[in-house]
Amino acid sequence: MKAKTYILGLIAVAALAGMFWYGDWSRSKVDNSQTASIIDQNGEQDENTGQSNEDNSANGIKVAASEANGDIILGSPEAPVTMVEYSSYLCGHCVNFHLNNLPTLIEKYVQTGKLKIIPRLVSPVELSAAVLCANEQDSFYEFNEYLFSHIQDLDSVDDVKSIVGKLGLNQEIFNACHGDNRYDDQIKDWFNKADADGVAGTPTFFINGEKIVGNQPLDVFESVIEKYSIQ
C-alpha cells in the first residue's frame, strides 16, 4: 500500500548531532550507524546514558492517555510537572531516550502522579497518524513505544499495520482510521507548535517551560523534574 503523502509547507530536514526531522518516511533516511548501536546491540552500554539497551517497548506497562487542546497527555492531567517532548521515530537519540530514560521517568514520576508527558511526534507523519489511530483504542503509549523499539524492522506502512495484531488491537478499526486523513490537522498543529517553540531538532523537551535539547543523561531530566515538583 502506498504511504500517504503530506505537504506541510517547508518541512525542515534538520541534522543536529544525529537528530533527523523528515516529512515523509523512508528506511534510507535512518542513520543506521547510530540506531544500530542503540537497537541491534542489545545488552551493550550506550555512551549517553550508561544503561543497557534492551527492548523496553512498554514492557506491559499501561499509561493512561487523555486529550486536551490538540495534544495527547500521558499520565494524570493534574500532575504538577509537564514535559513536552518533540521527537521523531527516525531520530537515533529519540530511540535512545525511549529505550533507556523514559521507562524510569514513567515509573518514578508519571505513575506516581508527579509528571505528565505531552508527546508531539513531528515525523514521519504516517507513523504519527498511526499512533493517533492506536490512541482510539486506548493504546497510544504501547504503540508509540513499540514503534521506537522496532523502527528498523519497519519497511512500509503495511509493516506498521502488522503491529496492530501484536498489540491486540482491532485491525479493521485501525485500518479505517489510518486509511483516511482524520489526523492531518492535529499533526500539522504539532509542526506549528514545534516552530513556535523554536525547535531545531529532535529530541527537544520542555519541562515546565525549561528547555532541554537532546537526550541528556537521566539525572538531568530527574533534577529538573524534582526542581519543579517541590515548588
CATH of the domain at 175: 3.40.30.10
Domain assignment of residue 208, yes or no? yes
**Residue 136: per-residue pLDDT:** 97
Domain assignment of residue 6, yes or no? no
**Structural domains of the chain, count:** 1
Domain assignment of residue 37, yes or no? yes
Domain assignment of residue 109, yes or no? yes
Domain assignment of residue 48, yes or no? yes
pLDDT tens digits, one per residue of 107-143 = 999 999 999 999 999 989 899 999 999 999 999 999 9
Domain assignment of residue 3, yes or no? no
Residue burial 176-211, b: 16+ Cβ < 10 Å; e: rest:
ebbeeeebeebbeebbebbeeeebebbbbbbbbeee
Does the pTM exceed 0.85? no
Please state at what angle helix 171-178 crosses helix 157-166, rounded to 10 degrees. Answer: 150
Domain that holds residue 137: 15-229
